[in-house]
């Protein structure tokens, strides 16, 4: 196992990512040589008379240049070695003579393209496929749940979720469990949901309970909230203000509830919006007349000899309207034995002497507006009531630290960050849009959210891929390439392993005094004189190639034979002919021996050479 992957430790003679390449299957050893599996390679045991990595060279009495012609195939470079040679293969080729093309046949499946690499290959996969040989179809197992559609992406996939489902594999059903409270029905939406609330409930998740309107008010649901239609005499956001309690009508007047207001039913002799005006208090009856309270007015009981409404006319006076007795622009209207005054707006009383707007009855900066026989109040923003006595922002109706903003005849709420709704009662769910990327999990807060990121990512919304190379995990000069929650190391020559921890030259694998030379993902051995082959394991002098008792002596690029007396040749295979110089005299016959000869003399001659 490897971090986020795996590797295969192959048996001798097999290579490739999944050990699929049998190096001996193609019979690389020529001229009757036998292929012998080795760790990560093979060697050839050559038939007598042949040498070379693949037994391709005929053994001769004198050594030739084993790199001419080159035995390295597919563009490989022949590198002379003591007693042999090695091949530096082009990318994508391996083998002693670079005879194995790792991209032929193409190992990359599912339309992947084989890309040669030094001593290896990689696969460039089509969208939706991964794995060393593009064997893994990310969409084949239908990773997208709940009816989602798998969409291939470069080296990955994405899910197109059906309404109401979110997250990387459409695993989160926004309606299960249902977020809608109080009997509301969850309705799936693209990447979201909405709630169809039961009657009497409102709010994003139907969290605002059954009608909060008090004192007989009727709840009218609104998008994201509600309004209260209050009963007569009640006002305020939830109909909490009773305009008749305490009784605003003075001097024994009765408070009568009206839609959004009230009126006062005054006792006889009192008038004004709150029955504040006592018509008899100013002693309107002159000349000793007595003021008698009447419904909405008064009358005067005059002493003998005086008439007119206020007993102002003495005996013999005939034209009661001349001069005009009505004040403040009022019009005198003759009556039988009497007169009345038709007052302009805002004035009342028998002679229109009472100015209903002076002093100003409207509170909190309200403006008094004269009306026929009455007045009304035009209230400043944020105030209501008949005389503007109700401050709609006191107490503050806005929840969660919202600020009450006065409006004409009403108010609005300026909500603190993170809240919404008519009275700031709704905590905004910042996780509704799933702002966390790359599989992160969102947790909602007040005017905030936090993301718990999947392994390999960080950042406020999990948008940053953690650099797994920042700690320089690759040893021995290896180059680190970052991935998602993993990394890969491109090792320097002579090193292997997940983090380049394996030094192929330590301990020295080259035998018999050979020097280890690092290669890309491998090594080669520079052998001392007389040794060759993989790891310099082959001794040219063992077994002794020299015949007839000759001694084998290593030399540069091979060996030489030191022959015993009487023999010569590369391998001492030639018995020197001691008779070649015709040493026997006087017609004697020479017979050759080993480093000697004998003479068979003619008749009459003797001596070693018949002399």
**Phi-psi bin for 98: left (phi > 0), alpha (psi -120 to 50), beta?**
left
CB 568 within 8 A of CB 559: no
Sign of CA dihedral 245, 251, 252, 254: negative
Tokens of residue 250, six digits: 């003075």
pLDDT of amino acid 61? 47
Question: Strands 225-229 and 347-348, how do they pair?
Answer: unpaired
pLDDT of amino acid 338? 76
Interatomic CA distance for residues 298 and 266, integer angstroms: 13
pLDDT of amino acid 171? 83
pLDDT of amino acid 599? 94
- Fold classified for 14-101: Laminin (2.10.25)
Interatomic CA distance for residues 175 and 190, integer angstroms: 12
CB 390 within 8 A of CB 397: no
Mark the ranges of the chain whose per-residue pLDDT is less than 70.
Answer: 1-7, 16-17, 59-65, 83, 200, 202-204, 208-211, 221-226, 304-305, 307-308, 314-318, 336-337, 433-434, 557
Interatomic CA distance for residues 10 and 13, integer angstroms: 8
- The residues, any chain, with a CB within 8 Å of residue 581's CB and separated by 6 or more, are none
Within 527-609, strands assigned E span 531-532, 538-539, 551-555, 558-562, 567-568, 574-575, 589-593, 596-600
Interatomic CA distance for residues 535 and 77, integer angstroms: 20
Phi, psi dihedrals of residue 587, rounded to the nearest 5°: 80, 10
Interatomic CA distance for residues 368 and 376, integer angstroms: 6
Sign of CA dihedral 360, 366, 370, 376: negative
Tokens of residue 515, six digits: 């020097």
Is residue 130 packed enough to be buried (19+ CB in 10 Å), middle (13-18) or exposed (0-12)?
middle
Interatomic CA distance for residues 383 and 394, integer angstroms: 10
pLDDT of amino acid 559? 81
Number of other residues whose CB lies within 10 A of the CB of residue 134: 21
Chain CA centroid to CA 574, Å: 84
Interatomic CA distance for residues 235 and 213, integer angstroms: 10
CB 450 within 8 A of CB 426: no
**Phi-psi bin for 451: left (phi > 0), alpha (psi -120 to 50), beta?**
beta
Interatomic CA distance for residues 301 and 318, integer angstroms: 19
Within 277-324, strands assigned E span 277-278, 290-294, 297-301
CA dihedral 260, 262, 263, 265 (to 10 degrees): 140
Phi, psi dihedrals of residue 489, rounded to the nearest 5°: -115, 130
Interatomic CA distance for residues 27 and 97, integer angstroms: 12
Within 259-312, strands assigned E span 261-265, 270-271, 277-278, 290-294, 297-301
Phi, psi dihedrals of residue 504, rounded to the nearest 5°: -65, -20
CB 159 within 8 A of CB 151: yes
Tokens of residue 472, six digits: 């320089």
**Phi-psi bin for 103: left (phi > 0), alpha (psi -120 to 50), beta?**
alpha
3-state secondary structure 33-86: CEEEEECCEEEEECCCCEECCCCCEECCCCCCCCCCCCCCCCCCEEEEECCEEE
pLDDT of amino acid 610? 93
pLDDT of amino acid 379? 92
CB 208 within 8 A of CB 198: no
Domain ranges of the chain: 14-101
Q: What secondary structure letter does DSSP report for 161?
A: P
pLDDT of amino acid 163? 92
pLDDT of amino acid 141? 81
424 vs 135, 203, 208, 210, 389, CA distance in Å? 56, 11, 12, 18, 25
pLDDT of amino acid 60? 56
Closest CA to 494 of 474, 510, 472, 516: 516
Tokens of residue 111, six digits: 């339309």
Within 546-595, strands assigned E span 551-555, 558-562, 567-568, 574-575, 589-593
Interatomic CA distance for residues 484 and 569, integer angstroms: 68
Tokens of residue 588, six digits: 């004697």
Name 341's bridge partners.
332
Interatomic CA distance for residues 554 and 568, integer angstroms: 17
Tokens of residue 571, six digits: 């391998």
Interatomic CA distance for residues 475 and 388, integer angstroms: 83
């Amino acid at each position: 196992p490897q971090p986020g992957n795996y590797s295969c430790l192959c048996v001798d003679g097999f290579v490739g990512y999944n050990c699929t390449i049998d190096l001996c299957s193609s019979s690389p050893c020529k001229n009757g040589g036998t292929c012998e599996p080795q760790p990560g390679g093979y060697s050839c045991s050559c038939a007598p008379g042949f040498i070379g990595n693949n037994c391709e060279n005929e053994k001769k009495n004198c050594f030739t240049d084993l790199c001419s012609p080159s035995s390295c195939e597919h563009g490989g470079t022949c590198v002379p070695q003591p007693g042999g040679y090695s091949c530096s293969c082009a990318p994508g080729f391996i083998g002693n003579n670079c005879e194995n093309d790792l991209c032929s046949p193409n190992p990359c499946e599912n339309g992947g393209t084989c890309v040669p690499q030094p001593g290896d290959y990689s696969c460039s996969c089509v969208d939706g496929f991964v794995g060393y040989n593009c064997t893994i179809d990310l969409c084949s197992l239908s990773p997208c749940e709940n009816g989602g559609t798998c969409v291939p992406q470069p080296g990955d996939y994405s899910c197109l979720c059906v309404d109401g489902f979110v997250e990387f594999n459409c695993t989160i059903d926004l309606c299960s469990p249902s977020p809608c409270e109080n009997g509301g029905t969850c309705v799936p939406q693209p990447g979201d949901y909405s709630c169809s609330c039961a009657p009497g409930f409102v709010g994003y998740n139907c969290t605002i309970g059954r009608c909060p309107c008090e004192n007989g008010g009727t709840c009218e649901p609104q998008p994201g909230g509600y309004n209260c239609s209050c009963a007569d005499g009640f006002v305020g956001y939830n109909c909490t203000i009773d305009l008749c309690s305490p009784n605003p009508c003075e001097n024994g007047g009765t408070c009568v509830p009206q839609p959004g207001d009230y009126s006062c039913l005054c006792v006889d002799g009192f008038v004004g919006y709150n029955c504040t005006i006592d018509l008899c208090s100013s002693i309107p009856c002159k000349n000793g007349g007595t003021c008698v309270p009447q419904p909405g007015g008064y009358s005067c009981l005059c002493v003998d000899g005086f008439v007119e409404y206020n007993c102002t006319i003495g005996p013999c006076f005939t034209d009661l309207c001349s001069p005009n007795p009505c004040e403040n622009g009022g019009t005198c209207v003759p009556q039988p034995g009497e007169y009345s005054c038709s007052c302009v707006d805002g004035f009342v009383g028998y002679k229109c002497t009472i100015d209903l707007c002076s002093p100003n009855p409207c509170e909190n900066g309200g403006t008094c507006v004269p009306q026929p026989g009455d007045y009304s109040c035009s209230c400043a923003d944020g105030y209501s009531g008949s005389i503007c006595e109700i401050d709609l922002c006191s107490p503050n109706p806005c929840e969660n630290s919202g600020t009450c903003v006065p409006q004409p005849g009403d108010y609005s709420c300026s909500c603190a960050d993170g809240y919404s709704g008519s009275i700031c009662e709704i905590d905004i769910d910042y996780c509704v849009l799933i702002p966390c990327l790359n599989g992160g999990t969102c947790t909602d807060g007040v005017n905030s959210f936090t993301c718990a990121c999947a392994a390999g990512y960080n950042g406020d919304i999990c948008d940053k891929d953690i650099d797994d190379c920042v700690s320089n995990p690759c040893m021995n000069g290896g180059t680190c390439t970052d991935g998602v929650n993993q990394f890969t190391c491109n090792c320097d020559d002579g090193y292997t392993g997940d983090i380049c921890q394996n030094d192929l030259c330590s301990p020295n694998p080259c035998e018999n005094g050979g020097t280890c030379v690092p290669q890309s993902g491998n090594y080669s051995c520079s052998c001392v004189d007389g040794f060759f082959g993989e790891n310099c394991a082959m001794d040219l002098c063992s077994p002794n190639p020299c015949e007839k008792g000759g001694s084998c002596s290593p030399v540069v690029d091979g060996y030489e034979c030191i022959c015993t007396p009487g023999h010569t040749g590369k391998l001492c295979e030639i018995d020197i002919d001691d008779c070649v110089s015709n040493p026997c005299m006087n017609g004697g016959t020479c017979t050759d021996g080993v480093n000697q000869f004998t003479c068979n003399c003619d008749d009459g001659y003797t001596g070693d050479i018949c002399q």
